[in-house]
Amino acid sequence: MTERDPLFDGTPGLPEVDRLQSLLAPLKTEVAPPPLPSRAPWWRRPSVLSAAATLAAGLVLTVLVAGPEHSEVGDARQLTPPAPAIGGAGQDRSLERAGTTEPADFAPTTSRPEDKRKPVPREGQRGGGGEDVAPRSTAPPAGEPEYMPLGAAPVELLTHHEGNVHHPQMSPDGSELVYEVHYPAEKRTELWLAGMEGRALAGDPVMLVPKSLGDPSPDGSGKRSAHSFGWAPTGSPHKYAYTVRDSDGSQQVYIDEWSGLIAEGVNRTPTWDPTEARFVFTSNRTGRGDLYLWDGGAELQLTFDETHAELYPSWAPAGNKIAFVRAGRGQSQVMVLDVHHLNSVPLVNFSGKDSTRPSFSPDGGRVAFLSNKGTDSVMRFGLWVVEAKPGSTARNIGRSVRIPSRGALSWTPDGRGLIGVIDAPEQGDPIAIFPIDGGPPRIVSTGTVRNRDPRLHVVDDAWRLLFTSQEAVASDRDWHRMFVYDIPR
C-alpha cells in the first residue's frame, strides 16, 4: 500500500488549502510570498462593467438558457415544488474593497426540494463501502436558484470499477473518453480510456499504462498511479499526455507516440496548448516548482521564481497566455504569463487568501477562479470572474462552490457562464450554471445527488455534460459513478 498521493485532488474531505500545501511539500516551498507587483506593463488599465451592461448581459443569458422556444419542455417536466429561497434576490453586489467585489451575507438555506424524477436506473455491482463523503459547508451561493427545464434522463456510463470514478474528459472530436478511478483502500489512481458512441461507451474501457515503463507494475495493480490526463489538440502528432507516479515518489510525464519520458525531477500536470502540439507542466528541477514548456521534445523554462511554486496552468484559447497559481504557505494567487515575453503579473491581489484553479473564457477575455476570500472558512471557496487584465475588479458570482477533483470549472461554450457544483450537501450538491454577469445560478435538473466534476462538451451542436455522482443512501454501490446528460437549450 502506498502513501497518499498528494496529487490526487479528489481525496474526500481534503480542503484546497491542504491540497496546495501537500503539492508544495515535494517542491520545498518554505517561505511566505513577497508582496505582489502592481504594475501592468503591457495590458490596458482596469475596466469595470457598468450596472446597465451587467443587467443586459444577464438578461441575454436568461433568454438563451430558458427561452420561449423551450418553454413547453419546462412546463411539462419542471421540478416541483420550486427551489427554496437561499438568499435575497436583490442582494447588494456593489461592495468594492481592494479591487474586489464582495456579495452581502445571505440567509440560511432550507431543505432541498424533492426531486420528482425517479432515481436513475443502474446495474448492481459487487463491492462494499466506498469512501465516506466528508461533511462540507452547507451554505449555498447568494441569490435564489432557478431550475432549468428537464431533458432526457442522464445515462450512466457503466464501467463496473470498485473504486471512485473522477474527472471524465471527452476527446476533442467526441469519439473517446478518459477518466480516473481512485481506490481509497490502496490509495492508488488509474487512468482508463473508452470509445464513445452517442451517449454510451463503445466497447470495454482499457487501462492506460505507459509502454516505455514496463515493470514493476505493467498491469497497474501495484504501487503506480496514473493521473492528470490531458488531451492534445486536434491535428497533433500526439494524442495525449499524463503523469505517472511510482512508489519511490518520482513523477514522470508520459507522452503518446513519444519515445521518452519527462523524468528529470518531479514533473506533473501536462496541459496542452489548444493551438499547437505543445504543453506546459510543473517541474521542481529548478526553484520551488517552475513552469516548463514541452515542444516536440525541447523543453523551455517559463517561470524563474525561486521562492514559490507554479501550479494549475491553464492556456488562453489563442495560445499566447497561461493563467496559473503562484503558491506559497502564506497565500496563493492567480497569475498570467505572457508566453512570448515570459512576463508574469498577478490578476488580483487577495492578500492572505488562497485563490486557485484558474481558467480562461472561450474568447480569452476573462479568467474564472476559486478563492476563499469573503468566506467564513478557509475551506469554503467561492467562484470569481475577472477581466484578463491586471488590476481589473474581480466579481464573486458563486458563493460556495465545490472544487473539482482536478483542474478548473468548465465554461459554457458561449462564454456566458461556468458550470460547477454548489457546495450544499442537504440539497444534493446540485450542478448549476453560474452566469458571469450576475443573476442566480441555474440548476441543471439531472435528478442525481452528490454530484462532482461536471464538464461541458459540444457534440453535434448539443451541450453534452459529463459528471460523476454517488448514491444518496446506503446501498451496495456507493462509489462515485459516471453519467452523461444533454442540457436542454
- CATH code for the domain of 305: 2.120.10.30
185's grid cell = 483502500
pLDDT at 275 over 90: yes
pLDDT of residue 78: 28
pLDDT of residue 214: 47
pLDDT of residue 374: 86
Distance, CA of 175 to CA of 80 (rounded, Å): 36
2 domain residue, yes or no: no
Give the confidence band of 482 by pLDDT, cuts at 50, 70, 90. Answer: very high
Which residue range forms the structural domain that includes residue 453? 16-487
Return the percent helix, strand and coil in the chain, to nearest 5: 10, 35, 55
74 domain residue, yes or no: yes
Helix (H, G, I), strand (E, B) or coil at 93: coil
Q: What does each C-alpha distance from 204 to 68, 157, 192, 197, 486 come to in angstroms?
A: 41, 11, 10, 12, 23
pTM: 0.72
Angle at 411 between CA 410 and CA 412, to 5 degrees: 120
- The answer to which of 24-28, 161-165, 208-212, 302-306 has the lowest mean pLDDT is 24-28
181 domain residue, yes or no: yes
pLDDT at 27 over 70: no
- The answer to which of 24-38, 100-114, 329-343, 425-439 has the lowest mean pLDDT is 100-114
341 domain residue, yes or no: yes
What ranges make up the beta strands (E) of 59-199?
Answer: 95-97, 100-102, 146-147, 155-156, 164-170, 176-183, 188-197
Average pLDDT over residues 4-10: 37
5 domain residue, yes or no: no
182's grid cell = 481512485
Task: Quick: pLDDT tens for 217-270.
Answer: 434 445 678 999 999 999 999 999 999 988 778 899 999 989 888 988 899 999
pLDDT of residue 17: 54
DSSP state of 466: E
6 domain residue, yes or no: no
pLDDT of residue 111: 35
**Proportion of the chain above pLDDT 90, given as a percent:** 48
49's grid cell = 462593467
pLDDT of residue 15: 57
Distance, CA of 394 to CA of 70 (rounded, Å): 33
Report the domain count for the chain: 1
pLDDT of residue 28: 39
11 domain residue, yes or no: no
Q: Give alpha helix (H) positions in 9-70.
A: 16-24, 51-65
pLDDT at 326 over 80: yes
Task: Quick: pLDDT tens for 354-405.
Answer: 999 999 999 999 999 999 998 888 889 999 999 999 889 999 999 999 999 9
Average pLDDT value for the chain: 74
Distance, CA of 379 to CA of 429 (rounded, Å): 16
464 domain residue, yes or no: yes
